[in-house]
Amino acid sequence: MAASDRRRPVFRPACIMPRAPSRHDHFPRFDAERRAGLRRAAADAAAVWRAADSAPGGLVAAMDALADAPADVAVERLLPWLDDIGWLRARLDAALALLAADPFARPPLRPVGQGGGAGGLILAERGAIRLTLQLTPFAPAKSPPAPAASLVFVPGRATYRVLAAGGALLCPYRVAVGAGEAAGGFTAAAAATCRAGPPRPLVEGAILHLDTARQGFTLAAARGDVLLLELAVQPPSPLPVRSYDVASGRLVHVSASRRGASFRGVALTLLRQLGRTDAAPLFAAETQAGDFAARWHAMRELVALNPAAAHPLLAAMAARDPHAEVRRAAAATLALFPPSGETGRKGGGGPGPCTSPAPSAPYRRDDAPPCRA
């Protein structure tokens, strides 16, 4: 045997860690008939629920009839589905029956959340109206869980029915919003701080009504699972979505409240991370959006993706954008460009960082006074 062969490492099967068993090992991947039966059972359940919801007096029919109603009116008209939850019990029983018949069944319910944290099921959604079953599971721990770091305020209304309180404390928060801000004149510099109210016990069966542009809450000190039935109506609004640091009460982030603008913002971020310089026209189009937060987000991403393409648009934004904070942020970013009008790498930023990232002045407010109870 050659000396080079004797030096080659030998990997022995005994040294490999055994793979942990998984329930997916038993999935009937080779049983086409069983898989077809699973699909039929889920489709049949979905058809029954869809027919009930779409019939006159059904949940989805009621949501469709309220598509153009003010948020407070829509919530009030849909309260019967929170007051009497017999329909919800029947639906969950049907889903459990599917799982009892076959553990690999997939009941036609849309999950939200992931991992071991808070999650739930979207029970119905039409336009700006959503009905959700929210679960915050209890997990015993040696030390109390860390409190929520941030709290988001979304323009609209929400009503919660407490199905299981879990011994939790409800910690309310409030932030003031003026009439001018609600009409589209919001600025980070003038934004009020978030203020905490005194905690109170969460009571099973209680109904909580919130103006979600101004009111929010967190949960603390739970001793069991918390289950909430939430009815939220959050139509497009000139007032942006605002995120506050819970500990200090400072405004930390602003984003567009219109769902379409939010989805486009996520798509633009992905395109920037993929280095898709050929998509620059999409970024340019979004810099003309109605939401000032959407315009600035698109510009920041374009600067990071393709500084040369962003430069003339940034100059126009600095001169003519209708929002004062966007104009100031654009001007500050423009000052980072060398006289050639390029920054970072030639030919676009790609997935890596831009050497002169755009500041986020319209998004952050780090000089706000702290939150006070």
Summarised one tens digit per residue, pLDDT across range 213-222 is 999 999 999 9
Question: Do the beta carbons of residue 347 and residue 328 sit within 8 Å?
Answer: no
Q: Based on the fold, state whether residues 251 and 264 are members of the same structural domain.
A: no
Residues 180 and 230 in one domain: yes
Kindly report the backbone phi and psi dihedral angles of residue 245, in degrees, each rounded to the nearest multiple of 5, phi listed first: -75, 125
* In a shared domain, residues 189 and 133: yes
Q: Is residue 353 scored above 50 in pLDDT?
A: no
The CA distance from 61 to 6, in Å, is 76
* pLDDT band for position 259 (cuts 50, 70, 90): confident
CATH code, domain carrying 170: 2.60.120.10
325 contacts 334 by C-beta, under 8 angstroms: no
| Residue 366 confidence (pLDDT) | 40
Domain end (from 202, 232, 255): 255
Q: Is 344 inside a domain boundary?
A: yes
Instruction: Specify the range with the lowest mean pLDDT, choosing from 120-124, 169-173, 188-192, 361-365.
Output: 361-365
Residues 86 and 190 in one domain: yes
Give the Cβ contact number of residue 205 at 10 Å. Answer: 9
Give the model's confidence band at 170: pLDDT under 50 very low, under 70 low, under 90 confident, else very high. Answer: very high
Reported for 71-76, long-range contacts at CB under 8 A and 24+ positions apart, including other chains, are: 71/128, 71/156, 71/157, 71/233, 71/234, 71/235, 72/157, 74/129, 74/157, 74/233, 75/157, 75/158, 75/159, 75/209, 75/231, 75/233
- Averaged pLDDT of the chain: 86
For residue 113, the model assigns a pLDDT of: 80
Angle between helices 307-320 and 292-305 (to 10 degrees): 150
- Dist. CA 64–CA 66, nearest whole Å: 5
Q: What is the mean predicted confidence (pLDDT) over 354-363?
A: 38
**Does residue 1 form part of some domain?**
no
For residues 19-25, average pLDDT: 62
18, pLDDT greater than 80: no
Residue 2 domain-assigned (yes or no): no
Shared domain for 236 and 307, answered yes or no, is no
Q: Based on the domain organization, do 199 and 327 belong to the same domain?
A: no
Residues 236 and 281 in one domain: no
Q: What residue numbers bound the domain in which 161 lies?
A: 33-140+148-255
Does 89 fall in a domain? yes
Scored b (16 or more CB within 10 A) or e, 259-277 reads eebbebbeebbebbeebbb
The rounded distance, in Å, linking the Cα atoms of 169 and 200 is 5
SS3 at position 161: strand
Inter-residue contact 347 to 307 (CB < 8 Å)? no
What number of CA atoms fall less than 13 Å from residue 33's CA on the CB side?
A: 0
Q: What is the pLDDT of residue 143?
A: 67
Q: Which three-class secondary structure state does DSSP give residue 323?
A: coil
Judgement on whether residues 116 and 54 belong to the same structural domain of the protein: yes
Whole-angstrom distance, CA of residue 26 vs CA of residue 83: 41
Extended strands (E) in the chain: 110-113, 119-126, 129-136, 150-153, 157-164, 169-175, 194-196, 200-201, 207-211, 215-220, 226-233, 241-245, 251-255
When divided into structural domains, the chain yields a total of 2
255, 283, 308 - which closes a domain: 255
